[in-house]
Amino acid sequence: MRWGVVTFPGSNDDHDALYAVDHVLGEEGVSLWHKDRDLKGVDCVILPGGFSYGDYLRCGAMARFSPVMESIIEFAHAGGLVWGVCNGFQVLCEAGLLPGALIRNRNLQFVCTTVRLRTEETDTPFTCRCTRGEVLTMPIKHGEGCYVADVVTLERLEQNHQIVLRYVDGSGRVTPEANPNGALNNIAGIVNEQRNVFGLMPHPEHATEKLLGGEDGLKLFQSVLATCTEGTHRRGTAVAPGH
C-alpha cells in the first residue's frame, strides 16, 4: 500500500508519520511536497502535525490554499482516504473537508501529555481494527486543539456517528477532567459524513512502538491498511455507516 505524507513549510511530524508507515508498518511511504499537485498514486494521504506556514493568521489557514491541497480536496471528494493529525486536522477543518474548527485550548496553555481515547466508532476505514469502546492511549501536544462547532453541526455529528474518538478518564468515562483542551463533547477525532476523511488531535504516529511509550496508534494505521488491502474501500465508494 502507498501512503502519502505531505510536508508543508513548518510541518514537523511528517518524518514520524513516514517512519511509522515504512519501518513499523512495513509499507511504502511517499513524501508529498506542498507545491506538488501530483499525489503520486497514493492510497491514503496523511496531513501531519506541525505548524504549517508558521500557523500565521489561523492554524491551517494558509496550508489550505497550497497546490497539494487542491489535489487532496479533489482526491477526498472522489472518496480517497485522507487523514489529518493535529495540524493536519486543523487544515482539514479550514479546507472545509471536516466540519467545525479548532481554537485555542480552554486554559490558553500548550498541552503536552498522554491522553486516553475511547473508540466510539469502528465502522470507519481508520478504526476498523479497533473494538467499539476500546480505550487507546496516545500523546497530544498542541495549543489549539479545542474542537468547536455550532449546535446544529454538533447534533449532526452525534446523529451520524461521526465522532470517532473522545477524551476519557482511566475508566473510559467522558468527564470534564479528562478533557485536555475544552473540546466540545470531549471530541478528539471526527470523520466526514462519507467517512473517508478523518481528523484527530492526538498523535497515533508517536504511539507505534513500545520504545516510544505505546503501540495503540498502530491500530489506526493497521485499520487503514486492512481497509485498502482487503478491498473494503474503493475510491469514490466510501464505506457506509453500519448502524
Partner 1 sequence: MPKKGVLDPQGKAIEHSLHALGFPEAHDVHLGKYVELSLDGVDAEQARQRTDEMCRKLLANGVIEDYHFELE
Residue 202 C-alpha cell reads as 492526538
128 is annotated as an active-site residue: no
51 C-beta neighbours (distance < 10 Å), count: 19
Residues 6+ apart with CB under 8 A from 28: 1, 2, 3, 21, 22
The size of the interface with partner 1 (CB under 8 A), counted in residues, is 21
Q: Is 228 annotated in the active site?
A: no
- In the complex with partner 1, the residue whose CB is nearer, 150 or 158, is 150
Chain-centroid distance of CA 40 in Å reads 21
Q: Examine the residue annotation and report whether 193 is marked as an active-site residue of this protein.
A: no
* Active-site residue (options: 27, 94, 120, 205): 205
**What track of x and - describes contact with partner 1 for positions 166 through 195 (by CB under 8 A)?**
----------------x-x-----------
CA dihedral (91, 95, 97, 98) in degrees, to 10, reads: 60
* Grid coordinates given for 55: 500557523
Q: Identify which of residues 63 and 228 has a Cβ nearer to partner 1 in the complex.
A: 63
The answer to whether residue 141 forms part of the interface with partner 1 (CB under 8 A) is: no
Q: Within 29-48, which residues bind partner 1 (CB under 8 A)?
A: none
Interface residues for partner 1 in 54-83 (CB under 8 A)? 57-58, 61, 65
Does the protein bind partner 1 through residue 152 (CB under 8 A)? no
Identity of the residue, 174 or 226, whose beta carbon is nearer to partner 1 in the bound complex = 174
> Residue 34 or 219: which CB sits closer to partner 1?
34
We find the least distance from the C-beta atom of residue 185 to partner 1, in angstroms, to be 13
Q: Which stretch binds partner 1 (CB under 8 A): 10-18, 98-106, 162-170, 214-222?
A: 98-106
3-class secondary structure, 115: strand
SS3 for 65? helix
Query: Which position among 24, 30, 73, 103 is part of the footprint of partner 1 (CB under 8 A)?
Result: 103
Burial of 145 (0-12, 13-18, 19+ CB in 10 A): buried
Q: Considering beta carbons, is residue 3 or 147 the nearer one to partner 1?
A: 147
Strand partners, 166: 118, 187
Task: Report the distance separating Cα 175 and Cα 8, nearest Å.
Answer: 35
Asked if 188 and 117 count as a contact pair (C-beta separation under 8 A), the reply is: yes
Interface positions with partner 1 (CB under 8 A): 57-58, 61, 65, 93-94, 99-101, 103-108, 146, 148-150, 182, 184
